[in-house]
Amino acid sequence: MCGIVAYIGKKEAYPIIIKGLQRLEYRGYDSAGVAILNGDLDVYKKKGKVKELEDFLQDKELKGTMGMGHTRWATHGEPNDINAHPHFSSTNKHAIIHNGIIENYASLKTELESKGYEFKSETDSEVFITFIEYIQEANACPLEEAVRLALNEVVGAYAIVVISREFPNQMIAARKGSPLVIGVGDEEFFFASDATPIVEYTNRVVYMNDFEIASIKDGKLNIKNAEDVEKNPTIHEIEMALESIEKGGFDHFMLKEIFEQPKSIRDSLRGRLKLDTGTVALGGIREYFNKFVQADRIIILGCGTSWHAGLVAEYLFEEFARIPVEVEYASEFRYRNPVIKEGDVVIAISQSGETADTLAAMELAKQKGAIIFGVCNVVGSSIARLTHEGAYTHAGPEIGVASTKAFTTQITVLTLMAMMVAKAKGTVKQRTFQEILADLESIPGKITRVLENDGYIQKLAAQFKDSRNFLYLGRGYNFPVALEGALKLKEISYIHAEGYPAAEMKHGPIALIDEEMPVVFIATRDSSYEKILSNIQEVKARKGIVIAIVTEGDQEIKKIADHTIEVPHVHEALMPIVSVVPLQLLSYHIAVLRGTNVDQPRNLAKSVTVE
Ligand code: G6P
């Protein structure tokens, strides 16, 4: 949440910053602002999207080779021009951009007010920079030292960049809990919440660690920790093609990402699945693999769509590896004093690798001695770095706020993990193992076939765009798909939708069914087919409108459902990867027809770095 970007070098800073903000806008879009240092320190900020800021700045002189920008997801104070970042310190000497939350800001504010400081905004960030100013003046110390001392006093999470008209050749940044990447170019440096604003200029990055403070002065980068000890930055070379962060002819990132799924799944499988030898190998899981095989229990942690992928993994690990699994909302787990025993293994799932609750839950599990495996998309992210071992999904950057390709690649990787463990334990029959491997390899081609139904799904969307409620029902492996289908619809179209296990319908949701209520059944041919058929009959008996996702060639459901969308057959354990695709498209088209902002739905952010 909140995107930050900063530049110091020889080029004009503003064009780099505004473009960077556009790339980071998925992280929050309540307001945006920039600060440019050129003798003076100018700050411009506006409520609304980066585009509004850009239009507002069109006729302004924004010259300077050092500056920073922020796109906000509001925490403290409503989204308006005043609460937008950057924030000046009380005397307008220093300015800050901040992603995170300062939990003790109220007491700091009271203390500063008692010393005569005044505040313009309601934000914790303005308190933060004024506190830095206060420390700097009280100690008559360099700005960098003032930042370090201030950080030792604040409680909370932050990624910050600070610039100052009094220290014009220097840019200071620090992180704890919120992500921050340094781009190292040729006589130029960048700071950003992720690498997307940087890759156009350099592929050399340093991932900052918690409690580190970076200073760029006179063209040199120095990093130290909170105890003032210098650290040697490790430079990583990243691979991120520029096309992967652009829309490439699609109207929205979400649609592009839905259509990218055959490729992203192929990338997830590449080099990991060998059909001829019947082997699965995840290079990132070696040293602790035995812990996995010997696990008494698996605890899966995640939030949102990643939590749904975890539910699919529960079915996979229990059925094939015969290990009991608990899937936990990270936000609940972390505050529950959970029981973690020797022999427990944790899998943390996260697209961004930065979700604050997931990170905190992992830290807790780690403290209690659990071995943690990660399934992340963003390389070098905080969650990826906190795990003992893991596997990247290789989905490529996901920019649409509603997660699509991250979900299907997470399940792909989790399937590989489950199969690897099951094979080592000898709990899966060789025939089943081979069948699953073969079907996994066929999935990209099968998703391409589902995507060919896009035109039909778009027409269907037109019929349901004004519905006020939706119910999504599925059983077995398709139950998490029902949850994910409902989540996709509410996130981007703002239509109320609920996902349920189909059999639970009679314990409540059935009361909602009437001739106005669309009920989406994920009813592919699997071991619970007959049962879900009965559930469809129950809905039809109450005049509900049934939209069913069925296996190609299904005739029975076609006779009773109002609408059917066919998907190719795959082993039922893999069906979520296929059956979710029409639901992604249905939500997408309904949202487009309703005129909502598909890629940046209201109130949401892609990377939730606050709890
Ligand atoms: C936010 C996003 C969701 C995502 C969830 C977890 O709510 O909008 O799309 O599923 O966070 O994020 P993670 O990056 O940990 O998968």
569 pocket-lining for ligand 1 (C-beta < 6 Å): no
Q: What mean pLDDT comes out for the span 356-363?
A: 95
SS3 426: coil
Report the C-alpha gap between 415 and 14 in whole angstroms.
Answer: 45
Report the C-alpha gap between 364 and 341 in whole angstroms.
Answer: 13
Name beta bridge partners: 301. 328, 348
Query: What residue type is assigned to position 477 of the chain?
Result: Y
524 pocket-lining for ligand 1 (C-beta < 6 Å): no
pLDDT value for 27: 87
Cα distances from 160 to residues 9, 69, 130, 180, 550, in angstroms, run: 19, 11, 14, 8, 50
2 is catalytic: yes
Q: What mean pLDDT comes out for the span 518-523?
A: 98
**Strand pairing of 469-474 and 496-501?**
parallel
Residue with tokens 């995170």: 100
* pLDDT, the chain, mean: 94
pLDDT value for 248: 84
**What pTM was computed for the model?**
0.85
358 pocket-lining for ligand 1 (C-beta < 6 Å): yes
Q: Among the atoms of ligand 1, which is closest to the Cα of residue 352?
A: 14
Which of 49, 109, 176, 606 does the annotation list as catalytic? Answer: 606
- In this structure, what is the dihedral angle of CA atoms 587, 590, 596, 602, given to the nearest 10 degrees? -30
- pLDDT single digits (tens) 77-124: 788 899 999 999 999 999 999 999 899 999 999 999 999 999 999 999
> Is the per-residue pLDDT at 44 higher than 80?
yes
C-alpha 364 – ligand 1 centre gap (Å): 20
220 is catalytic: no
Q: What is the 3-state secondary structure (H, E, C) of 460-508?
A: HHHHHCCCCEEEEEECHHHHHHHHHHHHHHHHHHCCEEEEEEHHHHHHC
Residue 234 confidence class, pLDDT cut points 50, 70, 90: very high
Report the C-alpha gap between 360 and 363 in whole angstroms.
Answer: 5
Q: Among the atoms of ligand 1, which is closest to the Cα of residue 403?
A: 9
DSSP string computed for 522-586: E--SSTTHHHHHHHHHHHHHTTPEEEEEEETT--HHHHH-SEEEEE----GGGHHHHHHHHHHHH
Query: Which residue has its alpha carbon closest to ligand 1 atom 7?
Result: 304
C-alpha 351 – ligand 1 centre gap (Å): 7
Which of left, alpha, beta for 92 (phi over 0: left; psi -120 to 50: alpha)? left
Contact indicator for 480, 312 with CB cutoff of 8 Å: yes
- pLDDT single digits (tens) 138-149: 999 999 999 999
SS3 412: helix
Residue whose CB lies within 8 A of the most ligand 1 atoms, among 328, 584, 607, for a mutation test? 607
Contact indicator for 284, 379 with CB cutoff of 8 Å: no
C-alpha 114 – ligand 1 centre gap (Å): 41
Query: Which residue has its alpha carbon closest to ligand 1 atom 9?
Result: 403
C-alpha 391 – ligand 1 centre gap (Å): 18
Among candidate residues 158, 161, 153, 2, the one with its CA nearest the CA of residue 77: 2
Query: Which residue has its alpha carbon closest to ligand 1 atom 5?
Result: 304
**Strand pairing of 40-47 and 31-38?**
antiparallel
608 pocket-lining for ligand 1 (C-beta < 6 Å): yes
How large is the greatest C-alpha to C-alpha distance in the chain, in angstroms? 81
Terminal CA-CA length for the chain: 10
C-alpha 306 – ligand 1 centre gap (Å): 7
pLDDT value for 77: 79
